[in-house]
Amino acid sequence: MNSGLVGRLKSVLLRLKDFGWRPENFSMNIQHHFKELLALLEKNQVEYVVVGGYAVAYHGHPRFTKDIDIFYRRDDENLEKLKSSLVVFGFRLEDLDERLFEFGNIVKIGVEPSRIDLLNEIDG
């Protein structure tokens, strides 16, 4: 992933936080378990940004999507924070194999239509 994309995503995330965005006050009709995971990511200071349909809808362009796509920064420190969040969310640490988080892999949690996709690479 190029550093320009990472910079743009960080900028978007910082702007959302500046305008009061927090998982607990996300006003869209968002699944309870989505809010729970987002709150854990915030609590553990995971560097991430919501992308895909929910992000588009949040910015005023409704999309009928029931899954949520979360793009996270893939470095050792952030991966540890992400794994800690997932353990509290209900995963067993031994199930979080390093291969799940290899560059380009998508970690899919749950089943359609209410799935959570964790991405460490996106086109852009």
Distance CA 101, CA 3 (A): 19
Mean of pLDDT values over 30-41: 80
Greater model confidence, 63 or 23:
63
Which pLDDT score is estimated for 99?
A: 82
How would residue 26 be classed by pLDDT, with cut points 50, 70 and 90? Answer: very low
Number of residues in the chain: 124
Section 15-19 average pLDDT: 48
Q: Report which of residues 113 and 75 the model is more confident about.
A: 75
CB-based contact 36:58 (threshold 8 Å): no
pLDDT at 19: 45
Of the pLDDT bands very low, low, confident and very high (cuts 50, 70, 90), residue 88 is very high
More confident of the two residues 46 and 52: 46
Domain boundaries, the chain: 3-21+30-119
**Residue 21 corresponds to which amino acid?**
W
Q: Give the neighbor-by-neighbor strand order of the sheet with 48-51.
A: 48-51, 68-72, 116-119, 106-109
Percentage of residues in the chain having pLDDT higher than 70: 63
DSSP 37-76: HHHHHHHTT--EEEESHHHHHHTT-------EEEEE--SH
> Highest-confidence range of 14-18, 74-78, 113-117, by mean pLDDT?
74-78
